[in-house]
Structure 1
């Protein structure tokens, strides 16, 4: 499973953060890695430099073998919470999607 990491211009995408979030995503989705070819992660600050509630956004797009890509997003007060929330949402979506594939 390949994890592609993208940030907007307001979020620092340094190597340490990229490694931390990539590991967080990989650990959260390890039960589904045999079905996933690639994960695209997009981190953004919806308000730019201004402060605001739930302005950090994480969009995760999963490419599943033989299926259309699926995507989820989560907005939270911090990047860590946004990534964690998006991983939780994607896990639930993959459980449903892969479960349906196995039942057919």
Structure 2
């Protein structure tokens, strides 16, 4: 999984900040590593140079293989909190998406098994009726 970090003009993006963001995202999404091609992280200061509550924003977009992108954002008073909050939200969103896919596959497998079982029951019933007719003839 590739992690790309972007920031606006109001955030002093250093290699140390980018490394920390990457490690935070990797830690939060490690169990989805095989399923994601890329995660884009966008850091911004909503109010620019003016201070304010919850003015730091982190948007994360994950690109699951073969599926539409999943995007979340989190606002907080510090950049650390914004990144950690967005990473947690993205983890939950991916958990939900992959959980739905697993349930959908499990339902399809159960249906296929039920159809196969139904065919087997029909064949057994047909065989029983043929044997019953042969005995009574």
TM-score (normalizing by structure 1): 0.97
Counterpart CA distance in 2 for 1:98 and 1:34 is 13
> What's the CA shift for 1:17?
0.7
Bigger share in strand: 1
> What's the CA shift for 1:100?
1.5
TM-score (normalizing by structure 2): 0.74
> What's the CA shift for 1:102?
2.1
Q: CA RMSD in A?
A: 0.7
Question: Which residue does the alignment assign to 2:3?
Answer: 3
Bigger share in helix: 2
Question: Which residue does the alignment assign to 1:44?
Answer: 44
Counterpart CA distance in 1 for 2:73 and 2:35 is 20
Counterpart CA distance in 2 for 1:61 and 1:39 is 6
* Pair 1:17-2:7 in alignment: no
Higher Rg of the two aligned structures: 2
> What's the CA shift for 1:37?
0.6
> What's the CA shift for 1:33?
1.1
Matched pairs, number: 104
> What's the CA shift for 1:42?
0.1
* Pair 1:56-2:56 in alignment: yes
Structure 1 runs not aligned, ≥5 long = none
